[in-house]
């Protein structure tokens, strides 16, 4: 569904990604892991058009994304749940959700998609009129995920969802990812929790120093080998 080929990208004179190639199959959960500074978030920004490509190409369902404005990607079926939640704290939970269905062609299904979000995240339903800024970290992450699902995206990109969350909340979060995967959704997950990420994934890519140093089906990934590469031992 998404093909990233020989991509180089960065910030001005500082190049971060070096000839990165990754294939994201439809209907699978692909996880991209690696230490801080490996280039994971920069790769996501390149996909979303927030970082220009110096070389290479990114194609979605066979069509190039180069030059597509970030705000138009939702129209093509791509949604991103960013690192750090980025919810609107002075708006209610339901108002945050409705922003996820803001594009005109998504509005007709907004009520049905909101009902689906509440079914998946019952705590949000209980507090739908509560200001988002009063939520706990775990609840805020659930809101960010639910908002990302409001447009019923063909490709869902999730950046570091477990960051700063308690272990019990992380377990709950990954159960939700398994449910989404079971629905046949195409998901790109960037995550530093290697055990959880590999456990939920179909495909695993490890980045180190702006390069992909391992690409395998999750069933063929050894955590011991992965950690050797992860920590560059």
| pLDDT for the residue numbered 154 | 93
Helix axis angle, 167-182 to 137-149, nearest 10°: 10
**Domain range 2-230, its CATH number among 3.40.50.2000, 3.40.50.300, 3.30.70.100, 3.40.50.1820:** 3.40.50.300
In Å, what is the CA distance from 71 to each residue of 105, 116, 134, 191? 14, 24, 28, 24
Q: Distance between CA 203 and CA 23 in Å, rounded?
A: 9
Sign, Cα dihedral of 92, 101, 161, 28: positive
pLDDT at 232 over 90: no
105 token code pair: 């062609």
Radius of gyration of the chain (CA): 17
| pLDDT for the residue numbered 109 | 84
Region 123-143: what's the mean pLDDT? 94
For 171, the enclosing helix (H) or strand (E) is helix 167-182
Region 34-57: what's the mean pLDDT? 93
Return the domain boundaries, the chain. 2-230
Q: pTM (2 decimals)?
A: 0.90
Can you list the alpha helix ranges (DSSP code H) found in 48-166?
93-99, 110-120, 122-126, 137-149
pLDDT-derived band of residue 233, with 50, 70 and 90 as boundaries?
A: low
Region 207-222: what's the mean pLDDT? 94
| pLDDT for the residue numbered 221 | 92
CB 56 within 8 A of CB 4: yes
| pLDDT for the residue numbered 146 | 95
| pLDDT for the residue numbered 72 | 85
Mean pLDDT score of the chain: 92
């Amino acid at each position: 569904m998404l093909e990233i080929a020989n991509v180089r990208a960065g910030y001005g004179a500082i190049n971060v990604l070096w000839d990165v190639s990754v294939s994201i199959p439809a209907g699978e959960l692909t996880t991209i892991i690696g230490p801080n500074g490996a280039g994971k978030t920069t790769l996501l920004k390149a996909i979303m058009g927030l970082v220009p490509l110096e070389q290479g190409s990114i194609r979605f369902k066979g069509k190039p994304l180069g030059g597509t404005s970030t705000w138009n990607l939702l129209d093509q079926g791509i949604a991103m749940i960013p690192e750090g939640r980025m919810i609107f704290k002075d708006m209610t939970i339901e108002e945050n959700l409705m922003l996820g269905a803001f594009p005109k062609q998504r509005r007709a299904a907004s009520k049905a998609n909101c009902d689906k979000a509440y079914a998946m995240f019952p705590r949000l339903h209980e507090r739908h009129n509560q200001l988002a800024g009063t939520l706990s970290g775990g609840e805020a992450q659930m809101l960010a995920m639910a908002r990302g699902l409001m447009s019923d995206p063909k490709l869902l990109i999730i950046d570091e969802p477990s960051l700063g969350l308690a272990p019990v909340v992380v377990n709950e979060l990954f159960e939700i990812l398994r449910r989404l995967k079971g629905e046949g959704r195409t998901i790109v997950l960037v995550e530093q929790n290697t055990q959880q990420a590999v456990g939920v994934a179909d495909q695993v890519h490890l980045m180190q120093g702006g390069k992909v140093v391992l690409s395998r089906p999750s069933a063929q990934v050894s955590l011991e080998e992965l950690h050797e590469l992860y920590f560059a031992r």
